[in-house]
Chains A and B, each alone.
Chain A
Amino acid sequence: MNIRSGYIYKDDFLHRLDARAKIFFTLSSLLFLIAESSSSSIFAFLSLIVILTFHSLGMMGINRAFAPVSFLLLFIFILSPFSCREGTPLLMLSDFVLVTKEGLSYSLHLALRLTGISFLFSLLFSTERMENLLSALTSFGLKYPISLSVILSFSFVHRLSLRYSEIKDAISLRKGGSVGRKGILDVLSALIVYALKEVSSTSNALVGKGYDGKGKVTDMHPLSSSYSVVIISIICILLPWIFHLL
């Protein structure tokens, strides 16, 4: 099973930055990328994000952010001739206008926005542990049971994927080496039954740990509160909008 874990362990400025400040930066940057009309401002901001990604995560971080959007970017430029028909023609085939200056700049704008959003999310999830992100969201008012459910889900993903491999191996042995298309339904239904049986044991374990739906008894770490976090968060919110002034 190919699960590409989100978090990459490093010890640098971005990794040490408070999770709440990173969330503020991501949301503010997202708004900037959607609202900003100047491609050059977006390009300048994207350059900063790419430099931060490379500095913090190296080429692996760049690849991880770029891979999910690479083909979509290609489609944006392939469809470019049909996106905007009006304007200054740049490329013509006899009388038919293939690419206009406005169409090309529109496609470039979309491509920069999409790449920027991809890099933003990749940077957030590569430099911050999910537990800290959930603690940050809880401090913003996310319901505690939802945070707890997400944290528990993460621990179950690994367990269920291991169980899937075991069930698949067992069924393929029984069927003589290969599961086949019909056998995959047996594997999936067996996995579901296993998961359903886990529900009651997990519920009992939660009660045993003192969680009854009212109290908050888990090992979720509260994030530290200090003036520096507030100041850094304000800087993070304002940072993308400085590029609007460029």
Chain B
Amino acid sequence: MNKSTGRISLISVMTALTVVFTLIIRYPVVATNGYISLIDASIVFSAIAFGPVPGFLIGALGSALSDIIGGYALWAVISFVVHGLEGLLIGIVARNGNFSALKGVLSVLVSLIIVPLGYFLLTGLFLVDFKTSLVEVPGNLLQSGVGSVIGVVLYKIVLNSYPKLKNMRW
């Protein structure tokens, strides 16, 4: 496989997968008029499987496109930054050696910290004030917690059923 086209294909397909994960399963959160999706599952899976750079690109592009397609374009730039950073940091945490339970726990922790904190800070700074952006924190905590655990579990399942995954890391 050509290295350059392989990378473009990987980013394209996994970005689309992130959009699909976001849009197929959406549990509405009445309190915030938002929704809980599985976006973090796809980002955590991609960051662990492919590394920090693909993790950043897939997280950033996938979340921004999901917001644009899903009608939440207002949050696209914030999602780009927050989920991009999430993918980058989880990719760094999981980059060397075999994937262990400790790395899985660290990935979930990174997701639990970055996503609620990132949305809280950026929404408070650029869109509303910090008191209002606090409203979104519980929903984001739930989404990133559940999503990242599913992402880690999916990585283990897919690695068993598709061992070539190990060779796809950048």
Contact = CB atoms under 8 A, between A and B. Distances in A.
Interface string B1-32: 11111111111111111011101111000001
Contacts of B153: 185
B33 interface: yes
Interface in B22-65: 23-26, 32-34, 38, 41, 45, 57, 61-62, 65
B60 to A, nearest CB: 10
Interface residues of B, number: 60
A114 B73 CA distance: 12
B23 A79 contact: no
B113 interface: no
Contacts of B65: 150, 153-154, 157
B113 to A, nearest CB: 23
A121 B45 CA distance: 30
A6 B69 contact: yes
A203 B132 contact: no
A2 interface: yes
B16 A110 contact: no
Contact of B19 (A2, A75, A153, A204): A153
B15 A153 contact: yes
Given A68-B71, A185-B154, A189-B154, A156 B2 contact: no
A30 to B, nearest CB: 9
Contact of B6 (A4, A185, A199): A199
Contacts of A245: none
Interface in B69-106: 69-76
A82 B131 contact: yes
Contacts of A70: 33
Contacts, number: 191
B132 A212 contact: no
Given A121-B73, A125-B68, A149-B11, A156 B16 contact: yes
Contacts of A122: 71, 73
B135 interface: yes
A210 to B, nearest CB: 11
Contacts of A52: none
Interface stretch (A87-95, A190-198, A222-230): A190-198
A76 B69 contact: no
Given A117-B127, A185-B154, A157 B41 contact: no
Interface in A165-179: none
Nearest to B157: A189
Interface of B: 1-17, 19-21, 23-26, 32-34, 38, 41, 45, 57, 61-62, 65, 68-76, 126-129, 131-132, 135, 150, 153-154, 157-158, 161-162, 164-165, 168
The 10 closest A-B pairs by CB, nearest first: A213-B4, A71-B33, A156-B16, A152-B12, A121-B73, A202-B9, A206-B5, A153-B15, A203-B9, A203-B5
